[in-house]
Chains A and B, each alone.
Chain A
Amino acid sequence: MIEIKDIYKTFGDNEVLKGISATFQTGKNNLIIGGSGSGKTTLLKCIVGLHEPTKGKVFFENENFTDMDFTARVPIRTQIGMLFQNSALFDSMTVEENIMFPLNLFTNQSIAEKRDRANFCLERVNLKDKNKLYPAELSGGMKKRVGIARAISMQPKFLFVDEPNSGLDPKTSILIDELIADLTVEYDMTTVVVTHDMNSVMGIGDHIIFLHQGQKWWEGSNKEIAKTDNKELNDFVFASKFMQAAREKL
C-alpha cells in the first residue's frame, strides 16, 4: 500500500500540485488521470522520489519515504519497478543486459541465474528470443514490454507506469494494459499508472484519481466514472463524440 498525504509541489512561482492525498491499495490498478499540465507526471515523480515534494509525505507500507535520505531509500527502491513514458532502456546495453542490470547491482545471483530470470521476464512479456537486440532495434511496443520486463525483474512490490500507451497503436495499447493488469495480480503489486488513455481508464481502472489544476478533483472506479456528474471529469472523459455516444448506451 502507498499513501500520499497533502502533497504540494512548486516550481518557482508555479504551484503544480496543491495538497493531494490518496491511498493506493495493493493488488489494484491505481490510475492517475487528468489533462495535459494537470500535474499527473509531477505527482508520480514526487511519489517515487524523483522530485521532492515542497510539502507533504509519501508512505510505502507505512514507512515515511519522503524523510529518508538516498541510502535509506535504497531498500524500498529495490522493491520499485517503473516503466517510463519512453521506456528509458539503456541504449548501450542489449535487452538481456537491461533486464539483468538491477540483478547485477542488487543480488548475489550467479550469471546463469540472472540470465534465467531475464529470459523468464522476457517470456512473460512475449519477447522470447529478443535477448541480444539493442533498444534501437525494437519497435515502440517492444520497448515498452522490455521496460516492463526490466521493471519486474526484481519481483517488485510497487509498479509505477508513466503513460504506458503513448505512441502505441490501439491494439498494442490494450495488450500493454492487460499485461500490467495481469502482472499486478500475479505479483500482488501496488500499481500506479499515469494515463490519459480512456481505454486504459475503462479497461483496468480499479481505482482512479482525476487531477484538475493540480488538485484531486474526483476519486472512484471505472464503473463509477460513467455515472459521475463532475463537470470537469465529464469534459475530460467524454470529450470525444465517440465517448459521448458510448456513454449514452451505458
Chain B
Amino acid sequence: MFQSLGKYILLLGLSFKRPEKFKVYWAEVMREMVSVGIGSLGIISIISIFIGAATTIQVAFQLASPLVPLSIAGKISRDSNILEFSPTISSLVLAGRVGSNFASNIGTMRVTEQIDALEIMGVNAPGYLIAPKILASITMVPLLVIISITLGITGGYIACLAGSEITPSDYIAGVVDGFDGLTIRVALVKATVFGFLIASICSYQGFYTSGGALEVGQSATRGVVYSCVMILFADLVITRLML
C-alpha cells in the first residue's frame, strides 16, 4: 500500500513538470474539458432532477405534521442538494463515467505501446496524458456540481408542481429562507477535491496497467472503486473540517 502511495505521488510529481510546449498541452486540456464537461452534462442533469424531486417528496412526507411548517421541506431539500447530493452523488457517477474512461484510455495506450512511443519521442508521458485530465476535472466537476445543484432544486420544484405533499410557494419559501453561502463554498471545495481524486486515481491505475485487454478492464474497475472510496472518505473529512 505504501509503495503504491509512493508511486502515485511520484507520478503526480512527473505529471506537473514543465511541459515541452505549452500550446500542445493547452489544446489537450481543452479537449479533456469538453469530454468531461459537455460529455457528462446529460447524465448529471438526469440524476440531479430526479434526486432533487425524490428528496423533496420524501422530506415533505416525513415532515407531514401540523407543528412543522411545510416550507422546511424546501430548506432541507436545498441544503441536502448543495451539501451532499450534488457534489457527492454527482462525483460518484462521474467516477464511473469519466474515471473509467481515463483509466481505460491510458491503460489501452500503455498496453498498445503508445505511451512507450511518447517516451521515445522525448515527451513526458505523465505530463502529456495525466495533467490535462486533472486540470480538466478540477475545473469541470465544480461547474457540473453547480449545474447539478440548480437542477436538483428545480427537480424539487417540479415535484411540488406535480404532487400534493407541498405547494410550490411553500417550497420556494423554504429554498430562499436562511440561505448560507458557506454551503456553496463547501460544495465547491468538495467538487474540486473529488475532481482531482477521480482524475488522478484513475489515471494512475491506467498508467501502470500491464498485460492486455483484460488488465485494462481491471484497471478501469480498480480506478472507479478506489476513487469512489476516496470520494466518500474525503467527503467526510471536508464536511468535518468546514461545517
Residues of A within 8 A of B24 (CB): 104-105
- Indicate with 1 or 0, residue by residue over B14-57, a CB within 8 angstroms of chain A CB atoms: 00000011001000000000000000000000000000000000
B113 interfacial by beta-carbon distance below 8 Å: yes
Residues of B within 8 A of A105 (CB): 20-21, 24, 121-123
Given contacts A104-B21, A104-B24, A105-B20, contact A88 B117 (CB under 8 A): yes
Residues of B within 8 A of A70 (CB): 124
A74 interfacial by beta-carbon distance below 8 Å: yes
> Which of chain B's residues 96-111 have a Cβ closer than 8 Å to chain A?
108-109
A106 interfacial by beta-carbon distance below 8 Å: yes
> CA separation between A75 and B20, bound complex, in Å?
12
A25 interfacial by beta-carbon distance below 8 Å: no
- Considering only CB atoms, which chain A residue lies closest to B20 in the complex? A105
A18 interfacial by beta-carbon distance below 8 Å: no
Given contacts A88-B112, A91-B114, contact A82 B120 (CB under 8 A): yes
Cross-chain contact A82 with B122 (CB below 8 angstroms): no
Cross-chain contact B121 with A86 (CB below 8 angstroms): no
User: Which one, A45, A78, A91, contacts B121 given CB within 8 A?
Assistant: A78
B119 interfacial by beta-carbon distance below 8 Å: yes
Main secondary structure of the interface of B (DSSP, over half): helix
Cross-chain contact A88 with B113 (CB below 8 angstroms): yes
Given contacts A105-B21, A105-B24, contact A88 B122 (CB under 8 A): no
B177 interfacial by beta-carbon distance below 8 Å: no
Residues of A within 8 A of B113 (CB): 84-86, 88
> CA separation between A88 and B122, bound complex, in Å?
15
> CA separation between A141 and B116, bound complex, in Å?
21
Cross-chain contact A73 with B122 (CB below 8 angstroms): yes
Residues of B within 8 A of A91 (CB): 108-109, 112, 114
A181 interfacial by beta-carbon distance below 8 Å: no
Given contacts A85-B113, A86-B112, A86-B113, contact A80 B20 (CB under 8 A): no
Residues of A within 8 A of B123 (CB): 105
> CA separation between A172 and B2, bound complex, in Å?
49
Cross-chain contact B114 with A102 (CB below 8 angstroms): no
A48 interfacial by beta-carbon distance below 8 Å: yes
- Indicate with 1 or 0, residue by residue over B172-211, a CB within 8 angstroms of chain A CB atoms: 0000000000000000000000000000000000000000
A50 interfacial by beta-carbon distance below 8 Å: yes
Residues of A within 8 A of B121 (CB): 77-78, 80, 101-102, 105-106
> CA separation between A86 and B114, bound complex, in Å?
9
| 14 further A-B pairs in the complex, CB-CB below 8 A; given A77-B122, A88-B116 | A50-B119, A75-B122, A77-B120, A80-B120, A82-B120, A84-B113, A84-B116, A86-B112, A86-B113, A88-B113, A90-B109, A91-B109, A102-B121, A105-B123
Chain B residues close to A by CB (< 8 Å): 20-21, 24, 108-109, 112-114, 116-117, 119-124
Chain A residues close to B by CB (< 8 Å): 45, 48-50, 70, 73-75, 77-78, 80, 82, 84-86, 88-91, 101-102, 104-106, 160
